[in-house]
Structure 1
Amino acid sequence: MIHPLSRSRSAIHYLTLFILGAVLAGATELSYGGWIQIPILSVIWWQLTLENHSSIKHQLLSGLIFGLGYFVIGLWWIYISLHDVGGMNAALSCMAVFLLSAYMALYFALATLTLTLLHNSRFTGLFLAASWVVMEFLRGYIFTGFPWMGLAESQVNGPFSVIAPYFGGLACTFLVVFTSWQILQLKKDPLVSTLTLIFVIVLTALSSLWSFTKPIGAPLRVELIQGNFAQSLIFKPEGVLKQIEFYFAAMSKSHAELIIAPETAFPWPESNLPSGTIDALQKQINQQGNNLLFGVIGRHTNTKDGREFSNRALGLSPANPPYLYDKNHLVPFGEFIPPGFHWFVNAFNVPLSDFARGGMNQENFLIQRPNQKPLLAAITICYEDVFGGELASRIRNSSTSTNVLINLTNLAWFGDSQASSQQLRLSQLRSLETGLPALRATNTGITSVLGPDGKVLSSLPEFSQASLITQVQAYEGKTPYVRWGNLPILSISCILLIWGLIRHRRF
């Protein structure tokens, strides 16, 4: 029989962990969230180690509840797309957010098992950081992956951003977890923990001394168009036409070297657009000598899987055939329907797509420049900006160089929420990892220009209909992360975990 006092302590323990998870998620939205999350994690590790380490079940449940608090707060905006835009029943929408959060929290829970399986060691911090890295990698891989709201993207406003060009976001995650654990150990072993923290500080400072990419050519004059159209408009013919007319007019009158409109700026199959739309834009491009990139629904005549349409970026440049980039990493339920889940999609009151998937290593977009060397841009569409390893692989395997990153996004599905700021941080992390500037053209925000160090150089206010007209300096070169990807940090993490398990068996 469980003593009532023990049951009460357990309830308080779990509630505290849930609240701490929610606080950690909230802190990531602050200006210095990458710094603030480190002491919060130290408190979480302390709370997770208060109880008896011998119970794997207890540790797993504790980690799960902590993760649940973190993801429910961090991913609540999915409710907006399901209920407010999609018209799904409120209870079913809440349940969907809860289940996704619980699934995400499971990876956090599995990572925290290190505190039970490999405890009572001065190397526990290394083992915990290694297990966290492995679980985060798997979270971004299994079932096509959903690595949103990781610890890494907050480091664009934190101390470990300079590590990203070397070993990527997972290495930033490793240092966040390891450092927060060492802070917790200051009272128990002050000398070793202090020396370890000094070593991490020195290593981080030294890492900031090198850069791996350099400017190329004169700054590029760009115009990023933000239409600010509600998602509900594209489900009505008059709304579709209104949006097409706006973006067509905005692109037609621009004199920038590169003009970019967001994902599905033309929310209609390319072949069904008003007669002469693409031809008129191409004629203008040929006359003015500028370049144009915008989102459209692509159409395929022969597909093996029967999927006729794709989420496409269409590029136009002088004297060149149209450039086509079809989105490769599709959003489950939003852009493809997993087998057995058509019942879930049928609960929406709006049509959802089952898109064809583009190739993994599609060519870069060629940006023509009068009297200058052309530039090459790596294109991503919305959700693809989440997967740093895939982008690094594309740049590494490309037959041409990459000088700038371009992301086309439409987050109107998620209303006035933190989804846009979360994706902006992910874009900043991609620039840090690759050492390349980025252009983000979005429908509702946050339209912005990022430097190769991930800093926001200029941006538009959210939910405004405007254009961002500015310049961006292109870069050339490859960072160590682009050359090696996640292999180094994953190898180190796996070696540490194997070593930890061997030590555990010996002792």
Structure 2
Amino acid sequence: MPAPVVGLLALGAGGLQALSLAPEPRGVLQVLGAALLAALVAQAAPRRAFVLGALAGVAWLAGTFWWLFISMHRYGNLPAWLSAGAVLALAAALSLYLAGAMALFARWRGRGGFGHDLLLWSALWLLAELARAQLLTGFPWGAAGYAHVDGPLALLAPWLGVHGMGAAGAALGFVLARLVLQPRQPARAAALGLTAALALAPALRGPDFTRATGGLAVTLLQGNVPQDEKFDFSRLPQTLDWHVRALFASTADLVVAPETAIPLLPAQLPQGLWQGLEAHFSRRTTSALVGVPLGDADSGYSNSVVGFGPGRAGADLYRYDKHHLVPFGEFIPWGFRWFVDMMRMPLGDFSRGPLAAPSFAVGTERVGPNICYEDLFGEELATRFVDAAQAPTVLANVSNIGWFGETVAVDQHLQISRLRTLELQRPMVRATNTGATVAIDHRGRVTHRLAPHVRGVLEAQVQGREGTTPFAWWAGRFGLLPLWALGLAVVASTGFRSRHRG
């Protein structure tokens, strides 16, 4: 097959991965993409496999987070060519993990039979995704497992998490490719077994590792403030007025306002506004979580959530500071100050909050906030479950992805949050500036939804949960090290066997 055609097919394999993620998760496309890539590298030399993996990775990642262009060009005022180049450069850099995995597979495949190759392929895929998720602060947006949030592989979520699900999807793709290319008995037997398992999976609901606690009535705010108006001081009074009136109007157990719903430091607010919030909620049974920046020039600034509630005021207010910061948006990587200075955006270096943050008590429930991008990191949220007595019974995500316009980023982030509820078996409420503002139950099902890109208020009921999933237990204590160890052990054993049989 001519090299240009093979290159286009590799781009197509990555494109299928991107298309599998949103607006609706389609696990079959993820499996087909993995199958196409497996077929392309089946006979390729290591150098060619590296190039094919890189092409697939660029198409996958650029096709997933292309909307970063909007934040840099429309709101950051970077030239279009530089914004597009930055997106492609990021995708190309992150694709090196998949490229390296494909090169190693090409080097070590075919010397231990079908089972050897299947294990090697799956382990290398897993390691490539883990590297992207954790190295250099990590950027796991678009991980393959999110395509399976509605499929049978979702049964693996409370056991292995999203990266285990992605490796399982890649394994299915490998079996499909081998069945087409080399329909031998082992491949046929594996295909029949996997087909039977997938056919039965929908009937297997999977165990509940958690149990119900109490119900919680929540009000979720969606201000729909255009990003170019969010820090416009001529429009700020109207924005603040809407959020404050909506906070005061709620009679639910908990009202949640989005990330930086109040975009100013408390000391910069109109006189009496902050004190009015404290006084209002301290005298009522309703509690509130509100996104607001905190800090000062001496101690540093943080992207935070403040909790107001009965009897809380002053030093007794709850405070959550974002732990996992966004590169370029909330901290500036070494050597990239010049790039950030070119964008006319309110960016800066924030201080990190603690990893295992305490929960916010609302009646008998414990609410665990996280801010925007943080819910990509299930292993970090799992640290809050080590102490079962203090673990959240409900998760609350506050976000503002207005930076990315009316794009598929909203749908992608929703799938990410749904996957976290499957891993941890906790409901999650999401209060966002532009969407998706929803309530999700502990099985990943959206129970209440507000249309994106409109201003509105969502009333919902959520059922708290207590108990610990296997994923929350091991990830909370060891992070993703068990998956790293598993992947490296498989690669070491299969690679060692390959060298000694070669």
Place the TM-score, normalised by the shorter chain, in its bin: over 0.9
TM (norm. structure 1) is 0.92
Question: Which residue matches 2:123?
Answer: 130
Match of 1:273 among 265, 269, 272: 269
Q: Give the total of aligned pairs.
A: 487
Distance (whole Å) between structure 2 residues aligned to residue 421 and residue 494 of structure 1: 33
**C-alpha distance 233-142 of structure 1, shift in aligned 2 (>3 A):** same
Question: Which residue matches 1:290?
Answer: 286
Distance (whole Å) between structure 1 residues aligned to residue 184 and residue 450 of structure 2: 47
Alignment of 1:98-247 (within 5 A): 98-120=88-110, 121-122=113-114, 123-187=116-180, 188-200=182-194, 201-202=196-197, 205=201, 208-217=205-214, 219-247=215-243
TM (norm. structure 2) is 0.93
RMSD: 1.8
Gaps of 5+ in 2: none
Question: Which residue matches 1:505?
Answer: 499
Q: Secondary structure at the match of 1:377?
A: strand
Q: Is the 8 A contact 2:47 2:103 kept in 1?
A: no
Match of 2:359 among 358, 364, 382: 364
**C-alpha distance 42-160 of structure 1, shift in aligned 2 (>3 A):** same
Amino acid at match of 1:35: V
1:444 aligns with 2:439: no
Distance (whole Å) between structure 1 residues aligned to residue 387 and residue 85 of structure 2: 41
Alignment of 1:293-372 (within 5 A): 293-300=289-296, 302-303=298-299, 308-320=300-312, 321-368=316-363
Distance (whole Å) between structure 2 residues aligned to residue 139 and residue 458 of structure 1: 32
Q: Is the 8 A contact 1:114 1:124 kept in 2?
A: no
Quote the sequence identity (%): 31
Match of 1:71 among 41, 57, 61: 61
Question: Which residue matches 1:401?
Answer: 391
Task: Give the CA deviation at 1:405.
Answer: 0.7
Task: Give the CA deviation at 1:211.
Answer: 1.3
Once the two structures are superposed, what CA deviation does each residue of 1:36-84 show, in whole Å capped at 9, x if it has no partner?
32123212211232xx53x322111111011111112111100000001
Distance (whole Å) between structure 2 residues aligned to residue 442 and residue 32 of structure 1: 21
- The more displaced of 350-359 and 194-203 is 194-203
Gaps of 5+ in 1: 1-5, 369-373
Once the two structures are superposed, what CA deviation does each residue of 1:221-264 show, in whole Å capped at 9, x if it has no partner?
11000000001112321223222111011101111110000000
Task: Give the CA deviation at 1:300.
Answer: 4.2
- The more displaced of 423-432 and 344-353 is 344-353
Question: Which residue matches 1:33?
Answer: 26
Distance (whole Å) between structure 1 residues aligned to residue 397 and residue 442 of structure 2: 14
Question: Which residue matches 1:490?
Answer: 484
Q: Is the 8 A contact 2:218 2:461 kept in 1?
A: yes
Match of 2:450 among 445, 460, 471: 460
1:479 aligns with 2:474: no
Q: Secondary structure at the match of 2:457?
A: strand
Task: Give the CA deviation at 1:32.
Answer: 4.9
Amino acid at match of 2:221: I
Distance (whole Å) between structure 1 residues aligned to residue 12 and residue 39 of structure 2: 14
Distance (whole Å) between structure 1 residues aligned to residue 271 and residue 93 of structure 2: 47
- The more displaced of 118-127 and 97-106 is 118-127
Q: Secondary structure at the match of 1:237?
A: coil
Distance (whole Å) between structure 1 residues aligned to residue 309 and residue 191 of structure 2: 52
Question: Which residue matches 2:50?
Answer: 60
**C-alpha distance 469-64 of structure 1, shift in aligned 2 (>3 A):** same
Q: Is the 8 A contact 2:388 2:467 kept in 1?
A: no
Distance (whole Å) between structure 1 residues aligned to residue 56 and residue 129 of structure 2: 15
